[in-house]
Amino acid sequence: MTGRFISFEGIDGAGKSTHIQAVADWFRARGADVQLSREPGGTPLAEALRALVLQSPMGSLTEVLLMFAGRRDHVETVIRPALAANKTLLCDRFTDASFAYQGGGRGLPLSVLNPLADWVQEGTEPELTLWFDLPSEQAAARRAGAREADRIEQQDLDFFERVRTAYAQRAAAAPDRVVRIDATGTVEAVREQVLAVLARRYPAC
C-alpha cells in the first residue's frame, strides 16, 4: 500500500464534511490523485446498508454488524485498491465512528468492537484522522436547520455527549494518528487549523 488514507471524524453537526473538499483541493494542488469516499457507504452494497441503518429501527448489535459489513466491502473494493494505486483517499468517517457511536453512544463493549475491527480491517486504517470536536449543544443547533434528522441524528444530547467522549478516548489512545480540530469557530477558522495540520504532516507534499 503506497497511497494515503485520511479520515474525517466528529459528531453530527461538527462540520467535518464541509472541510473535506478543501483538503482534497490542497492535495490536488500538490499533484496528488485524490479519491473521496464515506462511511457508512462508499460502495453500492454499503450505501444500501447505510439506508437501512439510518432509517430502519434495529437493535444496537444489529446496527454495528451492518456498519462493519458495509465497512468490509468498502475496504475490499474501494480503500485497498485506492491505496494500491497510490491515491490519496479521503474518507468521511471510518472505524473510529463505530467506537464512538455504537460504543460510546449505544454502549456496546470493546469486547464486541475490537474483534470486529480486527476481522474487517485486517490492519487497514487511516494514517491521519482529523477529529472535528464540538460540544453536543452547538452541534445540535447546527443540525437543526441543515436537514431532516435521520434515526441516529434524532438521539438526545446525552447520546451525543457520550459519542464525543468516546472520540476523545480514541484520540488519547492514538495521538500520532488522531488530531483534534477545534470546530467551535467559523468555517474559515476551522479550515486554517486543518490546513496547518496538513502543512505539518506533509511538508514535502
- Any known ligand binding at 11? yes
For the record, the C-alpha cell of 189 comes out as 477558522
For the record, the C-alpha cell of 83 comes out as 491505496
Distance (Å, whole) CA 196 – CA 29: 15
- Any known ligand binding at 56? no
- Any known ligand binding at 48? no
Q: What are phi and psi of 131, to 5 degrees?
A: -100, 110
- Any known ligand binding at 196? no
- Any known ligand binding at 133? no
Q: Which of 156, 180, 184, 181 is nearest to 170 (CA)?
A: 180
- Any known ligand binding at 12? yes
- Any known ligand binding at 31? no
Contact (CB, 8 A) for 11 and 134: yes
Cα 118 to chain center, whole Å? 17
- Any known ligand binding at 14? yes
Distance (Å, whole) CA 200 – CA 189: 17
- Cα atoms in the Cβ-side hemisphere of radius 13 Å centred on 32: 25
| Sheet containing 4-9, strands listed edge to edge, beginning at the edge strand earlier in sequence | 34-38, 88-92, 4-9, 128-133, 178-182
Binding-site residue numbers for ATP are 10-17
- In the annotated binding site, the residues are 10-17
